[in-house]
Amino acid sequence: MKKLILASASPRRKQILSDAGYAFEIITSDKEGEIDKITPPDKFAVRCAINKGEDVFSKLDGDVVVLSADTVVAFDGKIFGKPEDKADAERMLRQLSGNTHEVITGYAILSKNMRQTGKVITRVTFNNLPDAVLNAYLESGLWQGKAGAYGIQDGYPLVEKFEGDYDNVVGLPIKEIDEAIKEFLK
């Protein structure tokens, strides 16, 4: 069986892949995409995933499968990446409050002879966030390192509802890519 490499430092992706029963190694890429105002959010997420995956794959020899992903939040046509600081996180959360946005995870699965890329989109509707909830969440620091400055799994009443894949919002749409990973590992 081929060796699976996760090209991500995300503890959430690591947990989802582990919970799905995969044995894998982690090798990270330092390729981060620069958010621009021209590239549509879904294309941006896929491009970033491909860049990370190709970067890691290019450093490896042998029969390996590299899985990479990039998750962005898109609201009103704009990409909300990881917040730069607490003020940036507050800005994002205030904009998302009471509104519906998309969480887009682009992914790439790469091997010597095969390549599959794609995206999964989940629609998320936020509650109207009272200042007490917003401030408590900001003080928790849980927003750090997360697209859109939040984690659906963080235990705060941020999300009213979602349509689509919960794991996609967390960072890896395992239900969508599970069969493909298994095919690559054969």
Active-site residues, by number, are 70
> What CA–CA distance (Å, rounded) separates 123 from 136?
24
- Of 150, 148, 169, 167, the closest CA to residue 158 belongs to 150
At a CB cut-off of 8 Å and minimum separation 6, what does 2 contact?
63, 64, 65, 111, 184, 185, 186
> What CA–CA distance (Å, rounded) separates 105 from 100?
17
E-state strands within 37-89 = 64-75, 78-80
Phi, psi for residue 165 in degrees, rounded to 5: -90, 115
Neighbours of 25 (CB within 10 A): 10
Phi, psi for residue 26 in degrees, rounded to 5: -110, 125
> What CA–CA distance (Å, rounded) separates 38 from 34?
11
